[in-house]
Amino acid sequence: MRLENELAATAPSRRARRKSLMVEHLLASGMGCCALRHVQVAQLMQSTLLHFDGSKYRLYGWCIMPNHVHVLIRTQVPLPGIMQSWKSYVGRRAMAWNQELGLKIPGAGLWMRDYWDRSIRDGRHYNAVLYYIHQNPVVAGLCRNAEDWPWSSAGVSWENSQ
């Protein structure tokens, strides 16, 4: 409710950006469902991201946080279909494991309905976004170095670099 009140008091032209910043802050502070903290769910998410690399998108970077995921891709098919595919597959499996693994997923689903996307403007922006993605667990206090986070491309040597 507080989020809605603050957004209502924000100028309409700034509302979307303000909402994005507020949700980003809540996620970084560990609020909400943290089912992705469980090794089995994080492994599933990571393998799901890697599965269609090269066919539906080019995967350049990712970071799976306890309660959200950051991904840097170049799409080869429409983004809404990619997002639906990831959310549907991982969400169904996580819900099936909810009781067994004690994931504490509230309600009927793992994911928020929406997602945030942005277009990469140039090489400098690409590098800044990739750095942001990789530093997410460090900023959240989950590890000391980005390369130490097991659910990220930061410590992975792989062929899909820019």
Around 73, how many Cα atoms within 13 Å sit in the side-chain half-sphere? 25
Q: What are phi and psi of 93, to 5 degrees?
A: -65, -45
Mean pLDDT value across residues 78-88: 97
* 118 burial via Cβ count (<10 Å: 0-12, 13-18, 19+): exposed
pLDDT for residue 19: 64
pLDDT for residue 124: 97
Confirm or reject CATH 2.60.120.260 for domain 33-148, answering yes or no. no
Q: Please give the structure tokens belonging to residue 105.
A: 């997923």
Task: State the pTM of this model.
Answer: 0.79
Beta-carbon neighbour count of residue 20 at 10 Å?
A: 12
Instruction: Check residues 155 and 158 and name the one with the higher pLDDT.
Output: 155
AA letter at 103: L
pLDDT digits (tens, 9 = 90+) for 119-141: 999 999 999 999 999 999 999 99
- Domain locations in the chain as residue ranges: 1-31, 33-148
Mean pLDDT value across residues 47-51: 97
Residue with tokens 């909400």: 32
